Amino acid sequence: MSTTAPINTPDVNTPAPAVEVVGVSRVFAARKGDGVTALDNVSLTVAPGEFVSLIGPSGCGKSTLLRLIADLDTPTSGSIEVFGKPARQARIDQDYGIAFQQAGLLPWRTVAGNIELPLELHGVGRAARRARAAELIELVSLGDFSGNYPDQLSGGMQQRVAIARSLAESPSLLLMDEPFGALDEMTRERMQSELVRICAETKAAVVFVTHSIPEAVFLSDRVVVMSPRPGRIREVVNVGLGDMSGRGEDLREDEGFFRALSQVRDLLYGDETPSTPQGTRGVETR
């Protein structure tokens, strides 16, 4: 008698990917003409706990891709799953946290009040909310500022509040669109180190949009290099600098770090000469 399981039984030991984007295109209608193909047949899988950055010139579809994963927009074709569920269901179930370039805090709420907001909206009781906010305030090193209002904080501190808020419901996935884009270089590097520490602690997967090559390399397991018109994945670089718990400031001086930097830079700028004839530009691997 055979004990072999039917071929189509899912393997319960293999966790669903954090994000699975399959053949996704997004065409925005234009007043005249064919419309803008913001994304053309993009496929990408992000493993649980993995940190993946999207990098590429302005207009290559990074924000569009992130918004589609967050179900803030719908693909023209293709499919997106988050932890094995349709993106819509993952949004309803609050499976991810979101942080954007602007901290987007409510000015009339304190630091703690802003962090508690998503919990409040989802009916978490007052005591549990307080406790969770206190924990997150420690995590983002804002211990002394719990009762401050956003306009009493620096840009970097406001962004830490936004990150704490995105972590409020302990998501296994964070979606971040240039969250440090408005910060000065020094604050930015501090925030990157802090995010690395938070990821090591929470084991959350991250999809992170950035313009900065060093930022992408410092943070990521993989860097997805995108190209515009139409938005496509040009190549995916395996950074290979080890896991989050081992990423300290000295990594920025590491030989492997510089190697990955030039690899990403070559992919971004290597064939940008305007005279390059159409159709012969670089690799289009996916």
Ligand X SMILES: Nc1ncnc2c1ncn2[C@@H]1O[C@H](COP(=O)(O)OP(=O)(O)O)[C@@H](O)[C@H]1O
Binding site for ligand X (CB under 6 A): 28, 36, 38, 56, 58-64, 231
Of the pair 38, 219, the CB lying nearest ligand X is at 38
Q: How far is the CB of 61 from ligand X (least distance, A)?
A: 4
Q: Name 198's Cβ contacts closer than 8 Å, sequence gap at least 6.
A: 139, 140, 163, 167, 204
- In angstroms, how far is CA 5 from the centroid of its own chain? 37
Of the pair 74, 154, the CB lying nearest ligand X is at 74
Nearest 5°: phi and psi at 200? -65, -35
Of the pair 38, 199, the CB lying nearest ligand X is at 38
Choose among Mg ion, ligand X, none what residue 49 binds, the Cβ cut-off being 5 to 8 Å by kind: none
Q: How far is the CB of 225 from ligand X (least distance, A)?
A: 12
- In angstroms, how far is CA 6 from the centroid of its own chain? 37
Of the pair 38, 133, the CB lying nearest ligand X is at 38
Of the pair 116, 215, the CB lying nearest ligand X is at 215
Choose among ligand X, Mg ion, none what residue 60 binds, the Cβ cut-off being 5 to 8 Å by kind: ligand X
Give the C-alpha separation, 82 to 88, whole Å: 9
CA separation (Å) from 265 to 2, 118, 214, 235? 55, 38, 10, 12
Cα-only R_g, the chain: 20
Of the pair 58, 278, the CB lying nearest ligand X is at 58
Q: How far is the CB of 45 from ligand X (least distance, A)?
A: 20
Q: How far is the CB of 264 from Mg ion (least distance, A)?
A: 18
Q: How far is the CB of 60 from ligand X (least distance, A)?
A: 4
Choose among ligand X, Mg ion, none what residue 104 binds, the Cβ cut-off being 5 to 8 Å by kind: none
Choose among Mg ion, ligand X, none what residue 64 binds, the Cβ cut-off being 5 to 8 Å by kind: ligand X
Choose among Mg ion, ligand X, none what residue 61 binds, the Cβ cut-off being 5 to 8 Å by kind: ligand X
Q: How far is the CB of 36 from ligand X (least distance, A)?
A: 5
Triad 65, 67, 68: Cα angle to 5°: 65
Choose among Mg ion, ligand X, none what residue 263 binds, the Cβ cut-off being 5 to 8 Å by kind: none
Using CB under 5 A, list all residues that contact Mg ion: 63
Give the C-alpha separation, 115 to 16, whole Å: 29
Choose among ligand X, Mg ion, none what residue 28 binds, the Cβ cut-off being 5 to 8 Å by kind: ligand X
Strand partners, 53: 208, 223
Q: How far is the CB of 234 from Mg ion (least distance, A)?
A: 17
Give the C-alpha separation, 158 to 152, whole Å: 9
Residue 263: which H helix or E strand, with range? helix 255-269
Strand partners, 233: 226
Of the pair 118, 231, the CB lying nearest ligand X is at 231
Give the C-alpha separation, 214 to 180, whole Å: 13
**Dihedral sign of CA atoms 211, 215, 220, 222 in order:** positive
Alpha helices in 93-249 (DSSP H): 111-121, 126-139, 155-166, 185-202, 213-219
